[in-house]
Amino acid sequence: MITRTLSQLAAMAGADPVADRPELVVKGVCTDTRNIVPGSLFVPIKGPRFDGHHYVAEALDRGAAAALWGRGEPGRPDHPAVMQVDDPLLALQRVARQYRRQLAAKVIGITGSNGKTSTKDMLAALLSTMYRTHKTSGNLNNHLGVPLTLLGMEEDTEMAVVEMGMSGLGEIEALSTMAGPDAAIVTSVSEVHLGDLGTRDRILQAKLEIVKGMRPGGLLAYCGDYPQLAEGIARTGYRGVRQSYGVEESNRLHPVRWSADDDGFAFQLDEEDPEPFAAPIHGRHQMVNALGAIAVARHFGVPDRLIREGLRGAALSGMRNEIVRAGSCLIVNDAYKSNPSSVRAALQTLYDFRKPKRRIAVLGDMVELGDESEQLHRGIGGELDPGRIDLVVTVGASAARIAEAAAPRFAAGRVVVCADKAEALDRLMEESLDDAIVLIKGSRVLGLERIVETLRRREEGL
């Protein structure tokens, strides 16, 4: 993590000059008093419902060595290491941008509607076989998370994999400009954020802002299964190296033989080396994410033998096609977020499992879909396969539209509408889950992971 003197930090942050203890060494950055690292810099973040300035004194009492303070904010503590800046968040981003440029590390930025975090996890696993690698923790991928990720790099970091998310135009450009990627991956573009951006063209525009901060000569890898990505990249005027990947043969990197089943995925590439790439990760969509990771790992010189090793040991962040074993029942915990593309991918994962006697799909509301919400929910319902799903349980008012579209094709009692997760859990507790696989898929706001834990405890007799 960043280690600088107080005077160095003041200069990097654009703070007023430090008159007292300029050589005090400060290590690390915190924005939450619950996670204070002794000797760190505390940055007070101001939001619509909170103001970090109210916690600066507490942060110093808990061991922070220094803190920023917004100019003009009342109640500034009488402490020699409290440095005034125009805006603490902008100062944090300014420090992160400069720190990134002071290090020799290569930075890879990852964005997309779906698959960002899984691709990040796999790419970090591949790069770690050869380089000292740092990656975004969890999904700290916004205007606050990206600078904290960059400032968390050790001085000897060789590779940094940085996830970049957004909710509006201009945000990815700001993150990319801050991080200065040497390579970037655009995993997908879909209906996510229709509620924020209104149209698919604006979503595409927002994702491709990642090229704005890329360094000359870098690699831009993108999933060519989305033809609009290639068209959008051409419109950006990007002149660096491009590489498409995906299942379609038109992609530069694509599989010729592949499988996705109970053991994970495996595939061979359209190349001379016949040895397959494989990972104990479920879902054919994760195979596509792996292709993006392979493209970038190869760009930085990681040999295929280490790529195969890294894939075999890769582990994904929780609640993203996470397999939870509960007695003889398998639960696919995919409760982190939900949108039409990710629901289709999760359902395909459910279909690909061979062993279970019963398949149950618990599908919650998909949020942030704007005016198309009802149509998109009904579309998912119309696609559900009664030959491969034994029970459908919907959760929430919007997801009820899934049930309405699905019910005419399912036998009576096989599609159940629930108002919330408590009602859904009560319904599931009536089911025998022996040798069943249960998919739990919904937007984060629903908190469907609580269903996962309750079912796990029941099936294991806890």
Q: Is 115 annotated as a binding residue?
A: yes
- Nearest one of 410, 412, 425 to 331, comparing CA atoms: 425
The average pLDDT across 404-430 equals 95
pLDDT for 163-212, tens place per residue?
Answer: 999 988 999 999 999 999 999 999 999 887 787 788 889 999 999 999 99
The average pLDDT across 132-148 equals 94
CATH superfamily of the domain spanning 322-459 = Mur ligase, C-terminal domain (3.90.190.20)
Residue 208: predicted pLDDT: 96
Residue 244: predicted pLDDT: 97
Class of domain 103-312: alpha beta
Residue 462 has pLDDT above 60, yes or no: no
CB 82 within 8 A of CB 6: no
Q: Is 116 annotated as a binding residue?
A: yes
- Nearest one of 339, 329, 396, 405 to 362, comparing CA atoms: 396
Report, at the CATH architecture level, how domain 3-88 is classified.
3-Layer(aba) Sandwich (3.40)
* Domains 3-88 and 103-312 alike in fold: no
pLDDT for 268-319, tens place per residue?
Answer: 998 888 899 999 999 999 999 999 999 999 999 999 999 999 999 998 887 7
Q: Is 114 annotated as a binding residue?
A: yes
DSSP letter assigned to residue 385 = -
Q: How far is CA 225 from CA 12, 171, 230, in A?
A: 42, 25, 9
Residue 44: predicted pLDDT: 97
CB 117 within 8 A of CB 163: yes
d(CA 311, CA 328): 27
> Mean pLDDT for the chain?
93
**Range list of β-strands (E), 35-74:** 41-42, 66-70
d(CA 337, CA 116): 12
* Portion of the chain with pLDDT greater than 90, in percent: 82
Q: How far is CA 367 from CA 29, 90, 192, 199, 423, in A?
A: 33, 30, 9, 15, 20
Residue 461: predicted pLDDT: 66
pLDDT for 234-249, tens place per residue?
Answer: 999 898 999 999 999 9
Q: Is 112 annotated as a binding residue?
A: yes
| Single pTM value for the model | 0.92
Please report, for the chain, the start and end positions of each structural domain, with discontinuous segments joined by +.
Answer: 3-88, 103-312, 322-459
